[in-house]
Amino acid sequence: MSSKPKIAYFSMEICVESGIPTYSGGLGILAGDTVRSAADLKIPMVAVSLLHRKGYLH
C-alpha cells in the first residue's frame, strides 16, 4: 500500500468542460480549476460531482 496521501474532492457542481452542463456559475468554475490544477501538479486526487440528465439548471 502506498504511503502517499490521496485526496477525494466532492463538489455539488464542477466545470470540467464548458460543453458539459454540470455547473451554474462561479463555484463550479472554481472547482474545475482546482481539479485541473491538481492534475497539472500530478497530485493524486479523484473528483466526485453530480451529473444531471438534462443539465444543472433544467
27-57: b (≥16 Cβ within 10 Å) or e: ebeebbeebeebeeeeeebebebeeeeeebe
What is the structure's pLDDT at 5?
79
Q: What does the alpha-carbon distance between residue 5 and residue 51 come to, in Å, rounded to a whole number?
A: 27
Q: Cell digits for 48?
A: 466526485
What percent of the chain is predicted at pLDDT more than 70?
88
Q: What is the mean pLDDT of residues 18-39?
A: 87
